[in-house]
Amino acid sequence: MTARVGIGTAVGLVVLIGGAYLVGHQLAGDKLPQHTSVGQIALGGLTHAQAQAKLKAEFGPILERQLVLTAGDASVSFTPAEAGLGVDYSATLADLGAVGSWNPVDILTVLFGGRAHQPVLKVDQTKLAAQVTALAKQVDVPAVSASVGYEAGKPVRTESTAGTLLDRDATARTVQDEFLTKKTILATVAPAPPEVTTEQAEQVADKLALTAISAPVKVQVGEAGTLSVSPELIADTLTFEGRGGVLVPVFNTAALVKKLDPALNKLGLDQPTDATVTISKGKPKVVAAKDGQGIDPTELGSVLAEAVLKTDGRTGTVSVSTRPAGFTTAQAKASGVKEITGKFTTYFPGTAYRYNNIGKAAKLINGTFLKPGETFSMNATLGKRTKEAGWMAGGAIDGGKIVERLGGGISQATTTTFNAIFFAGLEDIYHKPHSLYFSRYPVGREATLDWVSVDMKFRNDSPYGVVLQAWITGHTGSQGSVTVQVWSTKRYTIKTTKPIRSNYRSPGATVYDESKDCKPQNAMSGFDVKFDRLFYQGKKLVKREPFKWRYNSLTPVVCGAKPTT
């Protein structure tokens, strides 16, 4: 009897548990666990279909709003989609756990469990990087290492300056982590110390740079004879530049070999000449390449870089070989220089120094030929602005004040060149507008220049050759103009959005200066400006590039004592 009761009890218990199990399964159904959420969105008790609909309803407006990525005063705006960011709803739901399961653990989890989840994201790293890069172009100020060169045959050093760089990887991660929860996202900016300091340059200028020009270097040129490289020629073509944190001698080998060409000709050698494209009588003209029997400029530079560090035994040897032109006539003919793809003109007051400096800059720019992939540097093209090189002193901006500098006015040529390549659709690598706005320049679309710290660089990112043509008009005493044209093959029609000015800033109170060196200056307001460069192919907009700049205000200066009231 007792056994029967025990068996009956056990059977009853099994039936009871089984019934509860069936009820639990029915209650759980195909629903998500009770305490499930994605981000801050509660999804407990919903089916997958209901959960997906709720996620889309909650995330949809967020994915359509404008995000602002900022670093100090710089910013770029974009939607998540423009940055390649979105929510993968299917993957997110798959990560929330099984539904409709007979597993008792799963049933209990649905009825009483669940946890917070993060949405699974869709990320197009290329699009995200493009938005970060757009901000970096506004933020990045590369550090400038100190260097040592020569002026009038004497060592001189340039000072180092620290830079500021956007941490692109960290910023991209931040955007990815925060775009669903924040409208304004702060980028990561880090200081960029110079590779070589001013103190290091001073040590080199005081010792190694003097040793380098202490005596000629004798170079044995194969079996052809001997070259003597004079201290004057060394000073003209040698600089000490940063390599791995130290200053090392680096020769401008192209200029060196060009200046040695007469001596090489006397030895019976004729260096090769690359083909190029120039503009003659309003049309592109190919200047044929010429092979030669000569020396390797890189080898000569290496030999001299070692020899100039010695106080005696200043000798070296270079080989002679048949040297083909590096860029052939056929390549030049096929380079696609056939039409004007960008052109810009600016106007300037007719002062003597402007005509001299802007005219000199135009001559140096004129005829520049860039192969596909090559980079143009305005500083490298114009060279250091010295009196010996023919530059005159004129107006420049330093620390928000108008000062006089050798080469003053060449920002006019730099701005004109920048605008010409801007409308040619070429890649802007680096440019910096003035700190103050001058109405003779297009607002926000200008470029200043400083030998030590500010260059203007662009890259020929096209598959075609590029030729720059530049000239000035006018004469001293009347308004002049400078024009730069870009010749290549047209890829884009470039337009710009209307510049938007904001955040106007008033100048400070008038300063009265009684010193004999006083220079008066007018008041100028400051403001922010932004616009986009638009790339069209036909009627289709294929690319948009944002630009932004912040102009300072200028405090007025009156020479003389402050009037008494």
Give pLDDT tens digits for 158-178.
999 999 999 999 999 999 999
Contact 87, 42 (CB under 8 A): no
CA distance linking residue 552 with residue 505, whole number of Å:
8
> Is 7's pLDDT higher than 70?
no
Is the CA virtual torsion 379, 381, 382, 386 positive or negative?
positive
For residue 354, give every residue at least 6 positions away whose Cβ sits within 8 Å of its Cβ, in sequence order, or none. Answer: 348, 394, 408, 409, 412, 480
pTM of the model: 0.62
Percent of the chain with pLDDT over 70: 89
CA distance linking residue 343 with residue 95, whole number of Å:
56
The pLDDT value recorded for residue 33 is 80
493 versus 550: the higher-pLDDT residue is 493
> Is 328's pLDDT higher than 90?
yes
CA distance linking residue 419 with residue 431, whole number of Å:
11
- Residue 515's CB is within 10 A of a number of other CB atoms, namely 7
The pLDDT value recorded for residue 151 is 87
Q: Can you tell me the mean pLDDT for 120-132?
A: 94
The pLDDT value recorded for residue 528 is 92
Nearest CA to 114 among 13, 188, 34?
34
Alpha-carbon distance values, 280 to 277, 283, 285, 389, 555 (Å): 9, 5, 6, 27, 48
User: Which three-class secondary structure state does DSSP give residue 458?
Assistant: strand
Contact 341, 487 (CB under 8 A): yes
* Tokens matching residue 109: 């989890």
Mean residue pLDDT across the chain: 88
Interval 19-63: pLDDT, tens: 544 444 344 346 788 778 888 888 887 888 888 898 898 889 999
Nearest CA to 444 among 71, 138, 187, 142?
138
> Is 111's pLDDT higher than 60?
no
Q: Which residues of 301-320 are buried (b: 16+ CB within 10 A; e: fewer)?
A: bbbbbebbeeeeebebebeb
Interval 67-89: pLDDT, tens: 999 999 889 999 999 999 999 99
pLDDT band for 524, please (50, 70, 90 cuts): confident
pLDDT band for 102, please (50, 70, 90 cuts): very low
> Is 119's pLDDT higher than 70?
yes
Q: Which residues of 12-26 are buried (b: 16+ CB within 10 A; e: fewer)?
A: eeeeeeeeeeeeebe
CA distance linking residue 227 with residue 234, whole number of Å:
13
Where are any strands of DSSP class E within 23-161?
37-38, 41-42, 67-71, 74-78, 85-87, 116-117, 121-123, 147-151, 154-158
> Is 12's pLDDT higher than 50?
no
The pLDDT value recorded for residue 403 is 60
Alpha-carbon distance values, 92 to 87, 110, 119, 326 (Å): 8, 17, 5, 56
117 versus 204: the higher-pLDDT residue is 204
The pLDDT value recorded for residue 565 is 65
> Which residue spans of the chain are classified as CATH 3.10.20?
207-333
Letter for the amino acid at 380? Answer: A
Q: Which CATH class is domain 207-333?
A: alpha beta
Alpha helices per DSSP H over 308-410: 329-333, 352-365, 378-382
Helix%, strand%, coil% for the chain, nearest 5: 30, 35, 35
* Tokens matching residue 160: 């180092």
Provide the β-strand partners of residue 454. Answer: 450
Helical (H) or strand (E) element with 528: strand 526-537
pLDDT band for 11, please (50, 70, 90 cuts): very low
Q: What is the DSSP letter of 93?
A: H
Contact 24, 101 (CB under 8 A): no
Contact 559, 519 (CB under 8 A): yes
Letter for the amino acid at 16? Answer: L
Q: What is the DSSP letter of 312?
A: S
The pLDDT value recorded for residue 78 is 94
CA distance linking residue 263 with residue 252, whole number of Å:
17
Where are any strands of DSSP class E within 7-136?
37-38, 41-42, 67-71, 74-78, 85-87, 116-117, 121-123
Percent of the chain with pLDDT over 90: 65
DSSP letters for 438-486: -TTS-TT-----BTTTB--EEE--SSS-EEEEEEEE--TTS-EEEEEEE
pLDDT band for 16, please (50, 70, 90 cuts): very low
* Tokens matching residue 565: 């009231």
> Is 396's pLDDT higher than 90?
no
> Which of 8-22, 182-196, 427-441 has the lowest average pLDDT?
8-22
Helical (H) or strand (E) element with 99: none
* Tokens matching residue 340: 């004007």
Nearest CA to 455 among 245, 132, 141?
141
> Is 139's pLDDT higher than 50?
yes
CA distance linking residue 122 with residue 137, whole number of Å:
26
> Is 492's pLDDT higher than 80?
yes
Nearest CA to 358 among 430, 440, 432, 237?
440
> Which of 18-27, 90-99, 230-239, 294-303 has the lowest average pLDDT?
18-27
Q: What is the DSSP letter of 476?
A: T
* Tokens matching residue 311: 């106080």
